[in-house]
Amino acid sequence: MRHDALIVGGSFAGLSAAMQLARARKKVCVVDAGSPRNRFAAASHGFFGQDGMPPSKMIADARAKLLAYPNVTFIEGSVVGAQADDAGGFTASLDGSDRQQVSAAKLILAFGVQDGFPDIAGLRERWGASVLHCPYCHGYEFSGRQLGVLLESPHPPDHAMLIAEWGPATLFLNGNNTVEDEARAKLQARGVAIEPGRIVALEGPGQDLSAVRLDDGRRVPLDALFMAPRTRPGSPLAEQLGCAFDEGPFGPIIRTDAMKMTTVPGVFAAGDAAMMMHNATLASADGVMAGVSLHRSMVFET
């Protein structure tokens, strides 16, 4: 069966896009590998009507509601390749020994991103619990406690000024960066401490954080560490298809127009792989736009 739309990625962006197309009575296929970026977080915060819910449950509930539509197909797996076909659409190859193929008139790339972490002992295992990305998602739970911000070159130290809204903050330069006098003055005005030493380990029971240990042996008490990791696309599909990228502050971003169309006709992109700012609500909204835009393109394009 040929689908109207193939959506690669079934998390917040992909499922939101699929719902719009399902309700527009289009034949939709969603392929998802089951590894959403926020799988490490126990709860998602700030999402309309879902504050505090486990993201895995939010995704499962959304998938169940989507599959209530008879025109939707869901495949658990990964798309390992896609190309334009002779019918004017696209054919995608899935992983697995049988190399199943799925064809569709149009594509939505919603496969998200993968995070890259610095080589600091104890950091990866605390990601999503006490090592965090978005203060709007997790800052409230650490209100008034000792907060840290890890500065990853070449990013400016502005993030530390924001984190100070939630509690006393320390900016860790991690031995690699200097702070310009003007920025230093702004940080000091916000009450942000600046620690130039290099972090060698995070300490604390389980996934909790109690302190960071520096290369000179000092320990700085800390309850949460915020950082913005470098990211890369969660799939090579956009590059395979010839989509253009822009270099964002944390990694490459699939270039899209205001209607979420990439530089390749018939290919749309949504979610973290196609946005500079990342959180679940923004990804879902981006997916809605991509789904609506794909449907409108089928109606109005000549």
Domain boundaries along the sequence of the chain: 2-114+230-300, 118-226
**Cβ 171 vs Cβ 160: under 8 Å:** yes
Note the CATH number of domain 118-226: 3.50.50.60
pLDDT-above-70 percentage for the chain: 98
CATH class of 2-114+230-300: alpha beta
pLDDT digits (tens, 9 = 90+) for 276-291: 999 999 999 999 999 9
Question: Cα-atom radius of gyration of the chain, to the nearest Å?
Answer: 21
pLDDT digits (tens, 9 = 90+) for 221-267: 999 999 989 999 999 999 999 999 999 988 999 999 999 999 999 99
Confidence of residue 215 (pLDDT cuts 50, 70, 90): very high
Give me 59's structure tokens: 């995704």
Give me 260's structure tokens: 């979420």
List Cα–Cα distances, 129 to 37, 40, 139, 237, in angstroms. 13, 7, 11, 30
Q: What is the mean pLDDT of residues 1-21?
A: 97
pTM of the predicted structure, to 2 decimals = 0.94
2-114+230-300 shares its CATH topology with 118-226: yes
Name the β-bridge partners of 149: 171, 226
Q: What is the mean pLDDT of residues 89-114?
A: 93
The values of phi and psi at residue 109, to 5°, are -95, 110
Rounded to whole angstroms, the Cα distance separating 18 from 14 reads 6
Q: What is the mean pLDDT of residues 137-163?
A: 88
pLDDT digits (tens, 9 = 90+) for 41-92: 999 999 999 999 999 999 999 999 999 999 999 999 999 999 999 889 999 9
Confidence of residue 97 (pLDDT cuts 50, 70, 90): low
